[in-house]
Amino acid sequence: MGDGDLVIRTRGLTKAYGARFAVRGLDLEVPRGCAFGLLGQNGAGKTTTIRLLLGLVRPTAGDALIFGRSIAEERLALLPRIGCMVEGPAFYPYLSARRNLSWLGDIAGGVAAARVDECLARVGLLDRGDDLYRGFSTGMRQRLGIAAALLLDPELVILDEPVSGLDPPAVLVVRRLIRDLVEREGKTVVVSSHLLHEVEVSCDRVAVIDQGRVVAAGEVKALLDPDQAWVDVSTPDPGRAAEVARGVEGVRSVEARPDGIAVGLEAQQAAALNRRLVEAGLEVRALVPRKRSLEELFHELAGTARVEAAELRS
């Protein structure tokens, strides 16, 4: 993929606060016209990464290129092309939602009233546009922050934890909005989240971040490995079932649970697993196939990364 196809490219991006690394040697490539997820637990370095991408903090090492230009050197020229919501929105409490957005537009040189209403409508707040911000719930404030990020029709939209505090109907609104921005308008959307399912259903590509480092990156479908199946086996003897399952050809992982075992195996080996368990005299109450989730992938990768980090420190 050539640099012209990339909206964001970082190399060795690092931010240290004294001896503590918030971001360590981060290499990211975000293609144009996709929804890209920054996935990690709270404290993994996602918000610091976004602040570095926006030039809000200076890197200790490395650089970030936005549209092929250094954000550190050309921040003022690049920011009009970027819409963002970082670490929760903040608005004037004594102004209405509509007036807050209009004021932001005035600072940027003027925005038509129709555009303000369009942005309110896209996040489901058009009927609350004249209500004062101070009376908004946490979820409504979050949605107004997303509306503000869209106000100037940016090419790149960066949203930090966009569904935090939202109720289920509002979550669906934001999911559809992200997909519309990408599929209908050709924008690039970067979403940071610790909610693994949200990234899985909303994003095309993902970078899994743990302890300030990328531990995996790529297309969501490819990372979830369609050639590997997962089955949940319900049995009254999980310990014995796990022992038998580990001896089945094609089984890659086995996890014992109170009501059975979870098994990762080659896609065609589920029947062989069931047969071996029955032949071993085990009662198989249910064997339920399922897709691997980003949550399982994340915990595998994060666990491996932390072991490697501990070995480096020792």
Q: What is the pLDDT along the chain (314 residues), one digit of tens a residue?
A: 555 689 999 999 999 998 899 999 999 999 999 999 998 888 888 999 999 999 999 999 999 999 999 999 999 999 999 999 988 788 999 999 999 999 999 988 889 999 999 999 999 999 999 999 999 998 999 999 999 999 999 999 999 999 888 889 889 999 999 999 999 999 999 999 887 778 888 999 999 888 888 888 888 776 766 566 778 999 999 999 999 999 999 888 888 888 999 888 887 888 899 999 999 999 999 988 776 656 666 666 655 444 344 333 44
Amino acid at 72: A
DSSP 132: B
Q: Tell me if 293 sits within 8 A of 200, measured CB to CB.
A: yes
| Domain 3-223 architecture | 3-Layer(aba) Sandwich (3.40)
pLDDT score recorded for residue 307? 37
Q: Where in the chain is the domain with CATH 3.30.70.980?
A: 228-292
CA separation for the pair 213, 193 (Å, rounded): 15
As a whole number of angstroms, the longest Cα–Cα distance in the chain is 75
pTM of the predicted model, to two decimals? 0.76
Residue 296 one-letter amino acid: E
For residue 298, the model assigns a pLDDT of 65
Sheet order of strands, 213-219 included: 82-85, 156-160, 188-193, 35-39, 205-210, 213-219
Topology of the domain comprising 228-292:
Alpha-Beta Plaits (3.30.70)
User: Which residue ranges does the chain devote to CATH 3.40.50.300?
Assistant: 3-223
